[in-house]
Amino acid sequence: MRVRAGLWMAAALIAAVSLTGRASAQVPGAAWDPAGVASPSPVAAPSPAASPDAAVAILQRGRQLIDTGHVREALETLRGPAAADPRVRVLIGVAFYHANDPVQAIAEITPALAELRPDAIERREAVQVLGLSHYLAGHLGEAIPYLEQTRAFAPDSSELAYALGTAYVQTRQAERARETWARAFHLAPDSAAAHLVAAQMMVRAEMEPMAQAELAAALQKEPRLPHANLLLGQAALFRGRLEEAIALFGKELEINPADAMAFYRLGDAYTRQQQWDRALEALQRSVWLNPYFSGPYILMGKAYQAKGDLSVAEGMLRRAVGYDPNNKTAHYLLAQVLQQLGRAEEARREFEVAERLQAVVDR
């Protein structure tokens, strides 16, 4: 399994290491077996071995190249007799990590780790890179021990907290995940707020049952905690339990009457029930509170289309497209409305845009 981290998070995890190299898709010069699987760099025979002074110079040069994004040159510099030095092997692994090749990084660093002194600074870097490499490669069980060790000397790293918390969730360790995120958000681990934050992160990880358990605990400790009923309502909405969702959104709005998202989700629920007037009332309030989010405009366009107010529907959908030009649903609904208005050529163009955006999603 490979962790589904966005490009921004993968970049942030790479930047979490003390280096700042640029990632690249493939590193020329890497050793590959005939099946296409990366192999650890060959360690040179003890003779002729690089002198201690030469190894230090190679390490300094290799790190400078990685720091400036020249990963290929770094690998060329680090390979050779000096690769017998475990510190050099670790830096080769770091180079592969910064080249966005976590599997090869693991292959390079793992055998070198046992040869490093427990107090060596290179060991810290090796542990950190191993933890993040296992995480990015989807080896979550293997990542956790290394990430836990890294937390001891990098307690304030938000990127490491994200990775460790996510790894705990994916391995069904809810309490440890909550404790990790509570620390990152400066919350007491047993507080209602910590349960809420953990639930939100679990929703992002698509671990809905765990999230609902955290939300139940949050509301038990603080019944009027903002956002908790909203998350529960969203879960009910996605499962088609519309009356339950409407009740939960109502509770959220009693606590937080200026929550634009709660009004939007309430309008969504009414739209699914085809209660168009109630939907429009909720969606209009959402727009009043946050006029720059495309979601309510899309649903209002759908509601006005259903009511036969095609000109108003067109206006709502054009606003949605203006705020979110890459929203395929907005373009598709706008095409339908234009078709109903008898503007076939405009409708055709909007259908083509929607189809093109769908093709991008399907890749």
User: Which percentage of the chain shows pLDDT scores above 70?
Assistant: 85
Question: Mean pLDDT throughout 15-35?
Answer: 37
pLDDT of residue 105: 95
What value does the mean pLDDT of the chain take? Answer: 87
**Domains in the chain, please, with CATH?**
1-171 (1.25.40.10), 293-363 (1.25.40.10)
Residue-wise pLDDT for 217-258, tens only, equals 999 999 999 999 999 999 999 999 999 999 999 999 999 999
Q: Could you tell me the pLDDT band of residue 32, with boundaries at 50, 70 and 90? A: very low
Q: What angle do CA 68, 74, 75 make, to 5 degrees?
A: 145
Residue-wise pLDDT for 68-90, tens only, equals 999 999 998 888 777 788 999 99
16 vs 251, residue with greater confidence: 251
User: Does 30 have pLDDT greater than 60?
Assistant: no
> CA of 265: how far to CAs of 200, 229, 282, 338, in Å?
16, 12, 9, 26
pLDDT of residue 325: 97
User: Does 47 have pLDDT greater than 90?
Assistant: no
pLDDT of residue 79: 86
Question: How far is Cα of residue 239 from the mean position of the Cα atoms in its chain?
Answer: 23
User: Does 35 have pLDDT greater than 90?
Assistant: no
pTM: 0.77
Question: Mean pLDDT throughout 307-318?
Answer: 98
Q: Could you tell me the pLDDT band of residue 50, with boundaries at 50, 70 and 90? A: low
Question: Mean pLDDT throughout 309-324?
Answer: 98
